[in-house]
Each structure stands twice: as structure tokens, then as C-alpha cells.
Amino acid sequence: MPPRQLPLFGDADEPTPATGSARHAALPVAPVPADDEALRLARALPGPVHLGTSSWSFPGWTGLVYAAREGRPESEQRLARTGLAAYAACVLFRTVSLDRTFYAPLSRDEFAGYAAQVPTGFRFVVKAPAAFTDPVIRTGTGRVPAGDNPSFLDAAAATAAFVRPAVDGLGTTAGPLVFQFPPLGRLTRDPARVAARIAAFVAVLPRGPLYAVELRDPECITPATARVLADAGAVPCVAVHARMPAVAEQVQLLGGLPTGPLVVRWNLHAGLAYEEAKGHYFPFDRLVDEDLPARGALAGLAAAVAARGDLVFITINNKAEGSAPLSVRALARMIVDRSGA
């Protein structure tokens, strides 16, 4: 049984300690024991390669990641609050994407609470708040612009609210800090200017963290973008997304195999909208639409970058193929094969 993890929030939906069911609720979320293939792949994966998923709070992963408790899955709320240690105990998971930070900053103590639940060698991929990457303020579902965003590309505010708390709280578990930019509309009429503005923003952030920039406009995926980001101390984040070119094409558009670390977010299957994919793939317990071209391209990239000793971070969303844990395993197989292990 894994050690008891520190909950980051009180579980309001759990019974009071006076009841018998409360004693069961207080037990740690348990991981599924690693099978022989998972153990073999974990031993064979190159050390620089960090594979993982986007978040971890999915009851449909019962039997894949989490053991059932009293014959039923853990709740989404309980997994979100106390499931990270069980997730990180799975031998193929060496990273996870902290996505909730996209919506609001976390404190240093909240980041430290996450760091306390994972083993040595685990690294977090952390999304920067949209407050610093979206040029407009959005209302309602987040799709309706409601005016200019005064904190867009505000490096001082991003440092104080995001970079410092993340780096100080996560410590050695800090991986890439990802600045994901939404489709930028009219700004992309001048892709070189977009890249220059983002690079100027990154250049004045504190030195030390690995910064990655994820763009959702194909026009901005150019060798010039890769160069100015590198000069500023950042790497492009390869966005495997329905609105973006295929992985191999993106690499070509960026000027070939990237220098330095590789950061990839495998987000959404081609041809699907987010909500459509969510409904199509729920409860995320099987591969529905295997994307072999994307998987093969990512495996080749990961093997090549790891072979020269650079870090690789690939996080996978359930909406990529249907079940992120199964995508991780399938990608691990292919990376091991490409690495000759």
C-alpha cells in the first residue's frame, strides 16, 4: 500500500470520522500494481524521457491506474484531491500536466503539496495562467471576448503570480512551464511580430526554469519562431491538436529536429472538437481512435532527443486517442523499440 498522501483540500463529500465508511474514505487511493510489461517498459525507457497525462482525476481509469475500492471506482473529486500519489506510483508515469493552473494561479504551498506526493525523478509540466497568454478577457464559457486583457504578456505579473510560486513550491519536481496561447486572430497577420513579442516576454522571466511556448496558430509555426524563442531561453511546445499541422509537419515547419529539450502536449484527435471528443471517448478506459502517425512521429522524436541526452516531456490527453494511460503505454512501447532497448 502506498504511503498516505497529504490532501490539498478537505473532502467535503466524505463522511465524518465517526462512521465506519469514513475509515474507508480515509484510506489512500491505491494504484493498480504494475504488470510485467509495464515494469519492462519502465526499465527500458531512456532516462530523459518523461511520459504522463493531462491531470489524473478520471474514475474511468479504474483498473488501469487506480484500484477499485469496495468494488467501485473512486470519485472524480477524491481522485483530484488525493489521487496524485497513486498516479505517480505507476511506473510508466514520470510526469503529469497541471492543467488547473491555466484557470487560476496556485500558491507556493499548494505547489509544495503536490511535490510532496511524488517520487524522486518525477517532474510536473505546469500550464501558465491564461491571464498572461490570452489577449482578451473572456466571459461565460470562456469563448466570449469581453475586452482587452491588461495582463497579457505582463512578465512582472507572471513572475510574481506564477513562476516564483511554481518554482519555489515544486522545487526539484518542477518541469516545463508551458505558456499556451489561444488562437490569436488578427495578431497572426504578422507572425514574426507575434513571435518577437512572446520572445521579449520570456526573455525577462527569471532564468532557470524550462519555458515552453505552445501556439495554436499554424501561421506562427516557423523556423524564425523557433530561433527567437531559443534566443529568449524557451522551446516551442509541439501541440498535437486538431487545428494544428501533423507532428512531422510541425517539426519540419520549425526547422527540423529541435535543439535542447522536447516538450509535447498531445491534446486532441484530428477532426474532432473538444466537447465532441469528450463525449465520444468517455469514460476514457480504452483506445477508440488510435493515431498511429502521431504516435510514430512522437516516438521517433523522443528517441532521437533522448539519445543525445536532452530531456523529453510528453503529456497526453484522453481526447487524443480515448484513454491517456493506454496512449502512454503504447507510446512507451514504440519509444523503446525506436531506442533499440
Q: What is the pLDDT of residue 188?
A: 77
Q: How confident is the model at residue 228 (pLDDT cuts 50, 70, 90)?
A: very high
In a domain, 14, yes or no: no
Cell of 174: 518542477
Q: What is the pLDDT of residue 189?
A: 84
Q: Any bridge partners for residue 265, and if so which?
A: 239, 315
Q: What is the pLDDT of residue 71?
A: 86
117 Cβ partners below 8 Å, 6+ apart?
5, 6, 84, 85, 88
- Number of domains present in the structure of the chain: 1
pLDDT (tens digit, 9 = 90+) per residue, 32-71?
999 999 999 999 999 999 999 999 999 999 999 999 988 8
The residue-averaged pLDDT of 321-337 equals: 98
Strand locations in 143-260, DSSP E? 144-148, 174-180, 211-214, 234-240
- Would you say 278 and 246 are in contact if contact means Cβ atoms under 8 Å apart? no
In a domain, 4, yes or no: no
Q: What is the pLDDT of residue 186?
A: 79
The residue-averaged pLDDT of 3-12 equals: 34
In a domain, 3, yes or no: no
Residue 184: exposure state from Cβ atoms within 10 A (0-12, 13-18, ≥19):
buried
Cell of 271: 477532426
Q: How many CB atoms lie within 10 A of CB 282?
A: 14
| Angle of the 324-339 helix axis to the 292-307 helix axis, nearest 10 | 50
pLDDT (tens digit, 9 = 90+) per residue, 149-198?
899 999 999 999 999 999 999 999 999 999 999 998 877 788 999 999 99
Give 57-62 contacts, CB < 8 A, sequence gap 24+. 57/83, 58/283, 58/284, 58/318, 59/283, 60/282, 60/283, 60/284, 60/285, 60/323, 61/284, 61/285, 61/323, 61/325, 62/285
pLDDT (tens digit, 9 = 90+) per residue, 263-318?
999 999 988 888 999 999 999 999 999 999 999 999 999 999 999 999 999 999 99
Task: Kindly report the average pLDDT of the chain as a whole number.
Answer: 90
Q: What is the pLDDT of residue 341?
A: 63
Q: How confident is the model at residue 8 (pLDDT cuts 50, 70, 90)?
A: very low
The residue-averaged pLDDT of 314-324 equals: 98
Q: What is the pLDDT of residue 140?
A: 64
CA distances from 291 to 45, 271, 283 (A): 21, 12, 19
Q: What is the pLDDT of residue 10?
A: 33
In a domain, 11, yes or no: no
> What pTM was computed for the model?
0.90
CA dihedral 333, 241, 177, 80 (to 10 degrees): -80
Q: What is the pLDDT of residue 86?
A: 97
Reduced to 3 states, what is the DSSP secondary structure of residue 53?
strand
CA distances from 139 to 148, 149, 166 (A): 12, 12, 26
- Would you say 69 and 26 are in contact if contact means Cβ atoms under 8 Å apart? no
Q: Lowest mean pLDDT: which of 137-141, 260-264, 315-319? A: 137-141
In a domain, 236, yes or no: yes
In a domain, 317, yes or no: yes
Residue 286, domain CATH: 3.20.20.410
Q: How confident is the model at residue 145 (pLDDT cuts 50, 70, 90)?
A: low
CA distance 53 to 65: 11
Q: What is the pLDDT of residue 104?
A: 92
Among 224, 222, 231, smallest CA distance to 251 is for 222
pLDDT more than 90, % of the chain: 80
The residue-averaged pLDDT of 231-248 equals: 95
> DSSP assignment of 161-179, as one string?
IIIHHHHHHHGGGEEEEEE
Grid cell 477524491 is found at 78
The residue-averaged pLDDT of 6-25 equals: 37
Q: What is the pLDDT of residue 26?
A: 58
Q: What is the pLDDT of residue 248?
A: 94
pLDDT higher than threshold 90 for residue 121: yes
- Would you say 202 and 229 are in contact if contact means Cβ atoms under 8 Å apart? yes
pLDDT higher than threshold 50 for residue 11: no
Q: Which tops the pLDDT comparison, 20 or 116?
A: 116
Q: Is the link from the previous residue into 283 a cis peptide, with omega within 30 of 0?
A: yes
DSSP letter at 160 equals I
In a domain, 13, yes or no: no
Q: What is the pLDDT of residue 143?
A: 66
**Domain span including residue 43:** 20-339
CA distance 294 to 134: 27
The amino acid at 287:
L
